[in-house]
Amino acid sequence: MLGRINHIAIAVPDIATASEAYRETLGAKVSAPQLLPEHGVTVVFVELPNTKVELLEPLGETSPIASFLAKNPDGGMHHICYEVVDILAARDQLVAKGARVLGNGEPKIGAHGKPVLFLHPKDFFGTLIELEQV
C-alpha cells in the first residue's frame, strides 16, 4: 500500500527563521511560504534529492500546529507523509484493519494540490501519519 516517503514535517515556531537556517546554514533549496487556511498552517518545503522536509508554522491560534508547539515550544517532528496510489482504497483498507482516520474520513486537498488523509498517531506508535495520493 505505502509508496515512498513524500515528506517529513517539522513544526516550527517561526517559519522565516527556520527557512533561513535550512537555506543559509544547511545550503538547502527552500520554497516560498504557502498559506493553507483549510489546514491552519503556513508551509515551506525544503527540497532534497530523495524527499522533502515540510516546515509548518501555525496559521492562527486554532491551528493544530499551535497546540503542538504549546507542548513543544522549540518545535519538532510533527508527521511523516507516505505516498499511496489510491487514497480511498488505502483508507478503506486501513479502516477495515482498525486504523482511525482523523477528521470526517474524507480526503482534503494538501499543499501539493493532491488528496491527503491523516491517521491517528495512537494507532502508529505515537507517529501522526499523512497519506498523499500520487
Question: Which residue of the set 54, 57, 83, 130 is catalytic?
Answer: 130
Nearest CA-CA partner of 100 in 110, 91, 87: 91
DSSP-derived letter for residue 28 is: -
38 CB burial (10 A radius; 0-12, 13-18, 19+): exposed
- For 108, the enclosing helix (H) or strand (E) is strand 108-109
Is 130 an annotated catalytic residue?
yes
As annotated, the active-site residues are 130
